[in-house]
Amino acid sequence: MDINDKSRIHWACRRGMLELDISIMPFFEYEYDSLDDRDKALFVRLLTSDDPDLFNWMMNHGEPADAELKRMVKLIQTRNQQRGPVAR
């Protein structure tokens, strides 16, 4: 997926679990544009993960074996925590 095709990335952010939607969508909406191209590509790669894996990683019930994906999960968690709850 092209890191500049924001409509496709936005669609890929929509998951089948509410918990993932409230973690991933705000990060995409508020943080994606500030990422460098390397991190944008990493975020897109994270989106190819299965929902159960993403859920476990976002809820701290495990972590990706891949160090770069682990870094992206931590970045999402940190930025979401710093930003605080987002009104939808």
* Residue 43 near residue 12 (C-beta atoms within 8 A): no
pLDDT in tens, 43-71: 999 999 999 999 999 999 999 999 999 99
- Structure tokens, 7: 């409509």
Rounded to two decimals, the pTM is 0.90
**Residue 86 has what pLDDT?**
62
**Residue 64 has what pLDDT?**
97
* Residue 61 near residue 69 (C-beta atoms within 8 A): no
Domain 6-83's class?
mainly alpha
CA 56 to chain CA centroid, Å, is 13
pLDDT in tens, 13-43: 998 888 899 899 999 999 999 999 999 999 9
